[in-house]
C-alpha cells in the first residue's frame, strides 16, 4: 500500500467516525428533548445546526485535500509532511480519545449514552478545530513563505504562458484550416464552373417550360452524380449554390429550385417535401 493510499484509508475511517459521532449527538439530543423516533430525521432546530455543521466541516476537508493533491509539495512544506498528514487524518479519532480521557474521574456521568456523548463531542470538537481552524491557518502560513510564494508565482506564470501558447496554436490551426477550405472552395469553383452554367441553363429552361423534359432531367442528374463523385455532399451544395447565383442574375423573377428535385437520392442529397423558390 502506497503512502497516499494509506492516508486515504485513515482519512476515510476518521470520516466515518466523525459522521457516526454527529449522528449520535443529533439522536441523543433530540431524544433528550422528547422527540419521538419517527421525528429523529427532522431537520428542524438542533438537528439542522448539526447537519449544516457536518456538511461544512466535511466539504472544507474535501476541498482542502483536493486542492493540496493538485499542487506540488514544495508549495506545501508543512501540510505535506507525513506527521502532519497523519495528524490531519486521525484528528477525529484523537478527539474521541480526548473525550474518553476527559470522562475519567467525572462523577456526574449517570448513563452510558451520556458517557458516549462526551466521547463523540470530543470527536466533533477536535475535527472542527483541526479541519476548519488549524488546517486553513497552516495553508495561510504556507502561502506567505518566500519559497512557496515564489514557486507558486512561477508555476502560475508557466501555466499562463502554456495556455496562451495553446490558444495561439489553436488560432493558427483554425486559420490554416480556413485557408485550406477557402483554397479548396476556389479550386472547386473553377472545376465546377462549366457544370454550374449548364445546370443553371437547365433550370432556367425548366422554369420557362414546365412540361416534363426527360433529357434535361437526366443531364442534371449526371451533373449531380459527377459532383458527388468529386467531393460528396459539400461539392454538390457548392455546385447548387453556384447554379442558383447564375439563375438569379439571368432570370430575375421567382424560380422553382428544380435542382433539389432532380438530385433527390444522389448520395446524401434529399429533396424537401415542397418545391423551393429562389
> pLDDT by residue (tens digit) across 62-113?
555 555 555 566 677 777 777 887 888 788 888 878 777 766 655 555 556 6
91 lies in some domain: yes
271 lies in some domain: no
Looking at the structure, tell me whether residues 138 and 185 fall in a common domain: no
Looking at the structure, tell me whether residues 132 and 172 fall in a common domain: no
Look-up of cell digits 459532383:
227
pLDDT given for residue 3 in this prediction: 65
Looking at the structure, tell me whether residues 253 and 190 fall in a common domain: yes
- Domain boundary among the residues 95, 114, 144 is at 144
Number of separate domains in the chain: 2
272 lies in some domain: no
pLDDT level of residue 164 (50, 70, 90 thresholds):
very high
Looking at the structure, tell me whether residues 24 and 138 fall in a common domain: yes
51 lies in some domain: yes
Looking at the structure, tell me whether residues 40 and 112 fall in a common domain: yes
Which residues constitute the domain of residue 54? Answer: 3-144
Looking at the structure, tell me whether residues 174 and 42 fall in a common domain: no
Q: What is the pLDDT of residues 35-63, one digit of tens each?
A: 554 454 554 445 555 556 656 655 655 55
> How distant is the alpha carbon of residue 23 from its chain centre?
33
Cell of 127: 475535527
Looking at the structure, tell me whether residues 112 and 212 fall in a common domain: no
pLDDT given for residue 69 in this prediction: 55
Q: What is the pLDDT of residues 239-257, one digit of tens each?
A: 999 998 888 887 766 778 8
Write down the pTM of the prediction. 0.45
Looking at the structure, tell me whether residues 86 and 48 fall in a common domain: yes
Helices (H) and strands (E) in the chain, counts: 8, 0
Looking at the structure, tell me whether residues 91 and 193 fall in a common domain: no
Q: What is the pLDDT of residues 169-192, one digit of tens each?
A: 999 999 999 888 888 888 888 888
Looking at the structure, tell me whether residues 42 and 103 fall in a common domain: yes
Neighbours of 171 (CB within 10 A): 10
Looking at the structure, tell me whether residues 106 and 185 fall in a common domain: no
pLDDT given for residue 38 in this prediction: 46
Amino acid at each position: 500500500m502506497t503512502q497516499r493510499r494509506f492516508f486515504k484509508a485513515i482519512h476515510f475511517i476518521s470520516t466515518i467516525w466523525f459522521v457516526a459521532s454527529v449522528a449520535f449527538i443529533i439522536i441523543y439530543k433530540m431524544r433528550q428533548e422528547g422527540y419521538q423516533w419517527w421525528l429523529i430525521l427532522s431537520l428542524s432546530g438542533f438537528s439542522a445546526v448539526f447537519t449544516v455543521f457536518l456538511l461544512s466541516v466535511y466539504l472544507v476537508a474535501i476541498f482542502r485535500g483536493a486542492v493540496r493533491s493538485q499542487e506540488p509539495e514544495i508549495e506545501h512544506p508543512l501540510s505535506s509532511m507525513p506527521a502532519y498528514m497523519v495528524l490531519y487524518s486521525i484528528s477525529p479519532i484523537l478527539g474521541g480519545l480526548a473525550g474518553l480521557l476527559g470522562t475519567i474521574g467525572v462523577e456526574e456521568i449517570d448513563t452510558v449514552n451520556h458517557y458516549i456523548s462526551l466521547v463523540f463531542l470530543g470527536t466533533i470538537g477536535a475535527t472542527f478545530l483541526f479541519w476548519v481552524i488549524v488546517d486553513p491557518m497552516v495553508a495561510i502560513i504556507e502561502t506567505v513563505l518566500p519559497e512557496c510564494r515564489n514557486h507558486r508565482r512561477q508555476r502560475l506564470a508557466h501555466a499562463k504562458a502554456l495556455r496562451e501558447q495553446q490558444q495561439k496554436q489553436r488560432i493558427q490551426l483554425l486559420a490554416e484550416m480556413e485557408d485550406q477550405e477557402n483554397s479548396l472552395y476556389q479550386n472547386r469553383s473553377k472545376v465546377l464552373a462549366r457544370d454550374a452554367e449548364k445546370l443553371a441553363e437547365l433550370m432556367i429552361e425548366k422554369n420557362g417550360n414546365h412540361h416534363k423534359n426527360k433529357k434535361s432531367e437526366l443531364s442534371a442528374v449526371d451533373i449531380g452524380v459527377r459532383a458527388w463523385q468529386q467531393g460528396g455532399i459539400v461539392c454538390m451544395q457548392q455546385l447548387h449554390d453556384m447554379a442558383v447565383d447564375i439563375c438569379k442574375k439571368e432570370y430575375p423573377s421567382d424560380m422553382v429550385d428544380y435542382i433539389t428535385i432532380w438530385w433527390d437520392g444522389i448520395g446524401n442529397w434529399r429533396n424537401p417535401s415542397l418545391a423551393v423558390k429562389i
